[in-house]
């Protein structure tokens, strides 16, 4: 039976690392990075830079979850129609990991 978790290598801040995520989270990351005109590595670098502790895979899952929750409630888009910064999402993600 094939595992639902997909392990991929990605370069974050100049260092190659492996990240294991379910395919749905990889797809979410691709969508977010495309909307924000970033590479996956750049987006993961932002997430990694804002996390205070916990592993990177968990931080990414929380970021993606928070992003799509905000989008569903209508707060992921700014008034000009562009995606929001989501810096607050990364801060909330750190808070959630600590609780």
What's the pTM? 0.72
Neighbours of 25 (CB within 10 A): 19
| CATH of 5-98 among 3.30.70.890, 1.10.3990.20, 1.10.10.350, 1.10.645.10 | 1.10.3990.20
pLDDT of residue 36: 96
Cα angle: 79, vertex 44, 31; to 5 degrees: 50
Per-residue pLDDT tens over the stretch 19-78: 999 999 999 999 999 999 999 999 999 999 999 878 999 999 999 999 999 999 987 554
Q: Give mean pLDDT, residues 65-92.
A: 65
The structural domains of the chain, with segments of one domain joined by +, span 5-98
CA distances from 67 to 4, 15, 32 (A): 22, 25, 8
């Amino acid at each position: 039976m094939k595992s639902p978790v997909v392990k991929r290598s990605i370069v974050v801040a100049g260092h190659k690392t492996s990240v294991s995520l379910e395919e749905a989270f990889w797809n979410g990351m691709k969508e977010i990075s495309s909307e924000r005109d970033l590479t996956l590595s750049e987006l993961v670098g932002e997430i990694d830079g804002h996390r205070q502790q916990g592993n990177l895979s968990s931080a990414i899952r929380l970021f993606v979850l928070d992003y799509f929750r905000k989008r569903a409630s209508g707060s992921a888009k700014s008034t000009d129609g562009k995606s929001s910064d989501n810096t607050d999402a990364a801060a909330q993600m750190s808070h959630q990991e600590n609780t």
